[in-house]
Structure 1
Amino acid sequence: MEYKLFDEYITLQALLKELSIIHSGGAIKGFLAKNTVLFNGEDEKRRGKKLRYGDVITIPSEELEITIVAPTTNEIEEHQKAAAEKARVAAIVKKMNQDNKKKQKAHSSKESNKTKRTPVRFPGT
């Protein structure tokens, strides 16, 4: 299997999580304790090991070999466009959430003044 690396490096933990070999980042310690993971033919137990172009990760128990390769220029352009679109959508959602929060605060403060009830106080108690 080939993994196209769009950044300078990726950690072993992030790679295994991205490929859905582990279900969460916290599961890496148990996975490395139970399974043999070979980095360029040598046993690797560090979850933060930085993987770069040309590195080969082998997991014998899963019968899986992952080669880190460089993407083509077209793939890089597509990745950058997708990342820009994702950032644009995230900014729109953030703005919408802020506006909704302001509206809810304004609406709730008006309601709280109208419905605010003070307890009845009897003289002498």
Structure 2
Amino acid sequence: MEKIKINTEFIKLDQLLKYANAVEGGGMAKNVILDGMVKVNGEVVLQRGKKLRDGDIVKYNNEEYIISTEEK
């Protein structure tokens, strides 16, 4: 599981996929989310603007990413 550190209150799902280099760009992020290929905390999410906060776990393409804020 890869820890993704953010210094804001939240990060949007499509931005996270780009930030973590899980996808090549915004268009690809949109497509994999809308195709139901991304899970957040174990559930398929189809909203690319879904706000992810500290402790959320994203799974895509057999990789897991956990969101972490700087305060911890």
- Scaled to the shorter chain, the TM-score interval is 0.7 to 0.9
- Structure with the bigger RCO (C-alpha within 8 Å, sep 6+) is 2
Greater Cα radius of gyration, structure 1 or 2: 1
Structure 2: runs of 5 or more not aligned: none
TM-score (norm 1): 0.51
Instruction: Give the aligned CA root-mean-square deviation in angstroms.
Output: 1.8
Structure 1 or 2: larger strand share? 2
Query: Is 1:24 aligned to residue 31 of structure 2?
Result: no
Aligned to 2:63: 64
Q: Distance in 2 between matches of 1:46 and 1:4?
A: 21
Q: Which residue type is aligned with residue 13 of structure 2?
A: L
Q: Which residue type is aligned with residue 67 of structure 2?
A: I
Counterpart contact for 2:35–2:46, Cα < 8 Å:
no
- The offset of 1:42, in angstroms, is 0.7
Percentage of matched positions with identical amino acids: 34
Structure 1 or 2: larger helix share? 1
Q: Distance in 1 between matches of 2:56 and 2:12?
A: 12
